[in-house]
Structure 1
Amino acid sequence: MSDRPVRVGLIGFGYAGRTFHAPLIGATEGIELAAIASSQRDAIADQLGPVPVVGSVADLLVRQDVDLVVVASPNHSHASIACQALEAGKHVVVEKPYALTLDEARGVNERARRSGRLLAVFQNRRWDSDFLAVRAAIERGLIGQVVHFESHFDRFRPQVRDRWRERPEGGGGIWYDLAPHLVDQALQLFGLPERVEASLAILRPGASAHDWAHAILHYPDKRVILHASMLAAGGSARFIVHGTLGSLVKERADQQEAQLLAGVVPGSPGWGRDEDPLVRYDEGGRTELPAPAGDQRAFYRGVVAAIRDGAKSPVPLAQALATTAVIEAALRSSSEQRAIPLSLTRAEQVAFAED
């Protein structure tokens, strides 16, 4: 495949498909859209022009001009469609959460291993400017040993909408929607926690699915707080980190999603630029550290390298499984009102550490 682009079949043209996947694929070297499975023919034509559109997953999977299937359908269908695509001999990128339970995730991983094809979960937030800034500061030791870490996705959306993301079944609710990003970033920084303690709630009038989530990841030497809310007018700091030598505060979130919604082409001038600095506080006072530009195209660059050159997946299976384990532990913790250890086997823990 080294002499031609990786050809993509995109399943779904809802928010994720049209806002993230289509633009990022279209702006990344070595990869291109070959076909889309969706009922939204007019919307696809308006945004993308003459891209072939098929009416079903089955129709897309039999296409010989598709090397990689991107699953951007509703959450409840991610695992089953990913397995179908792997069985059809396709490489797969799947939206988060790629499975709704740990056992389901194990099944998808095993299917990927047997197929010999790439399976990568779309953890695009690893390449957000806010996370890159905080990660670099921690790795440089700018605040010493981290003892307290907070990561927030807080929004103000008081009106309940009639959509699958806000229904209680099938992977709806704020925890399934946002926890995969929050958890993945935390595991990238600190590894596996010993226990997970969480509270999930329904706070908006008329809501039926969780719209508030607060989780604490317990480590021997630190506490990691992951928080998401739909009733936070004015928002809150994206990251707050306290260490033995000082603290970090990143007020504003990465701007790539906002840019994509505004029609900014990934890679164009100003793409991923973050004018909001990371602020460090220590005994010497307050210091502003410029945030690096984010670029979520790095995920698809990694996919291309993995398919073409056998490079390591941008999101290895063991990491995706660990994120699912934390999500599931938080759900149990909220239900049982106690801290829950991760239900990962010793072999799965070792695989995570090795990745």
Structure 2
Amino acid sequence: MDAVKFGLVGYGFGGRYFHAPLLSAAPECELIGVVTRSQERRAQLADQLPGTRCFDTLGELAAAGAEAVGISTPAGTHTSLTEEAIGWGLSVVCDKPFALDADAARRTVDLAAAGGVVLSPYQNRRWDSDFLSVRAAVDAGTLGEVRRFESRFERFAPDDGPGASGGGTILDFGSHLVDQSLVLLGPVTSVYAELSLRGSGLDDDVFIALQHATGARSHLWGSWSQHAPGPRFRVTGTSGSMVVTTTDTQEDVLIAGGTPDGRGPWGSEAASDLDRIVTGSGTSTIRLERGAWDTFYPAFARAVRGLGPAPVPAPDAVATAVVLDAARRSADTGTVVAVAHPPDPRL
């Protein structure tokens, strides 16, 4: 297929490390330019991707021949920029949080459908090595019927987050935590959440409990102020439990300047005796699946060409936003919030 001409809006941390390297490494994609007015960002782009054009507006990018765009800007701009891109006839990948609330997410998804463009939330964490390993074990029935899913994005970096650009920890870490739980266990019927507020007014040290329609429960933690982070995953089923302490390193590799260009290993994690499955008959260690962030943009490009589905269906963004809205209401009121007619992200 002919490479899809991509643009990128924003060249901050996300644009530089989570989007530009993966777009540049995908033969199905051609990165034709970046929209940023910041002279600092333009200098970084010239240093990291020499010769890549800069644009002041989405309109200029569209006029230059772009067919699709990745949005990697502060959270509060995601809806307006995504809808503007749809108005220019561009297919869109929008970083998390896809929208600040479920109503905005629904409107954007409907606009894309009406405009006939491909729209996908950038839920790259579905292709983390640790989560792919959990999915493989669950799909294989190794744990039996899953009763509880525990998932954490915890770190001690009080000076780094939660940043205003991410919208706070519920929207930032929570977007991935909730999306993964919906992918693994399906829609939810109720949500309970707790959080702490920093002096900035942004939420942190978040706990979210989900009751799934299947009867399973998800317990999700997100924090920038945890001195002793817990295991990335603990999954308990009727036949066994799985503990994963090794966290995916694709982010670290990208920040260090690595790319999935085929010249070295990508997405492979070192073996650890702490990654294990425990059953009534004993304990066995596991080797994590290969992380695969590098598959997202090729799959999206094929969807733009009509050669396959979007890597993350647009309605999944609405399903996640519904749960996050309920989590904020629960934290505000101290009550369990029912989720009526929960959408199933797997349909």
* Deviation sequence 1:245-304 (CA, Å, 0-9, x none): 111000021010011111111144121111145300112221011111101011112101
SS in 1 for 2:276: strand
1:73-222 pair list within 5 angstroms: 73-159=73-159, 166-167=163-164, 172-202=167-197, 206-219=199-212, 220-222=214-216
Aligned to 1:296: 293
* Deviation sequence 1:30-80 (CA, Å, 0-9, x none): 10210101121110011111100112334324x232110111111001011
Aligned to 2:251: 257
Aligned to 2:56: 55
Structure 2: runs of 5 or more not aligned: none
User: Which stretch has the larger CA shift, 276-285 or 82-91?
Assistant: 276-285
* Deviation sequence 1:180-232 (CA, Å, 0-9, x none): 11111111111101111111212x6x443111110000135221111011122
Aligned to 1:233: 227
Could you tell me how far 1:178 is from its partner in structure 2? 0.8
Could you tell me how far 1:160 is from its partner in structure 2? 5.8
Give 1:126's aligned amino acid: R
Which of 21, 26, 31 is matched with 1:33 structurally?
A: 31
Aligned to 2:217: 223
Find the aligned partners of 2:316 and 2:283 in 1 and give their Cα distance. 35
Which of 234, 238, 242 is matched with 1:244 structurally?
A: 238
Aligned to 2:4: 6
Q: Decide whether the 8 Å contact of 2:59 with 2:88 is kept in 1.
A: no
Find the aligned partners of 2:112 and 2:346 in 1 and give their Cα distance. 20
Find the aligned partners of 2:100 and 2:243 in 1 and give their Cα distance. 32
Find the aligned partners of 2:127 and 2:6 in 1 and give their Cα distance. 21
Q: Decide whether the 8 Å contact of 1:251 with 1:276 is kept in 2.
A: no
Identity %: 36
Find the aligned partners of 1:113 and 1:195 in 2 and give their Cα distance. 29
Give 1:334's aligned amino acid: A
- Change in 2 beyond 3 A, CA 1:191/1:68: same
Find the aligned partners of 2:298 and 2:82 in 1 and give their Cα distance. 20
Q: Decide whether the 8 Å contact of 2:153 with 2:221 is kept in 1.
A: yes
Give me the CA root mean square deviation: 1.7
SS in 2 for 1:107: helix
Q: Decide whether the 8 Å contact of 1:166 with 1:207 is kept in 2.
A: no
State the TM-score, normalized to the length of structure 2.
Answer: 0.93
Could you tell me how far 1:307 is from its partner in structure 2? 0.8
Give yes or no for the alignment of 1:315 onto 2:312.
yes
Structure 1: runs of 5 or more not aligned: none
State the TM-score, normalized to the length of structure 1.
Answer: 0.91
Give 1:216's aligned amino acid: A
Give 1:243's aligned amino acid: G
Q: Decide whether the 8 Å contact of 1:325 with 1:343 is kept in 2.
A: no
Give 1:45's aligned amino acid: A
Q: Decide whether the 8 Å contact of 1:160 with 1:207 is kept in 2.
A: no
Could you tell me how far 1:342 is from its partner in structure 2? 2.3
SS in 2 for 1:195: strand
Find the aligned partners of 1:113 and 1:344 in 2 and give their Cα distance. 22
* Deviation sequence 1:121-149 (CA, Å, 0-9, x none): 10101111000001101111112111111
* Deviation sequence 1:321-346 (CA, Å, 0-9, x none): 1011111110111111111122557x
SS in 2 for 1:309: coil
Q: Decide whether the 8 Å contact of 1:322 with 1:344 is kept in 2.
A: no
Find the aligned partners of 1:328 and 1:29 in 2 and give their Cα distance. 38
Find the aligned partners of 2:256 and 2:263 in 1 and give their Cα distance. 13
Could you tell me how far 1:311 is from its partner in structure 2? 1.5
Give 2:176's aligned amino acid: H
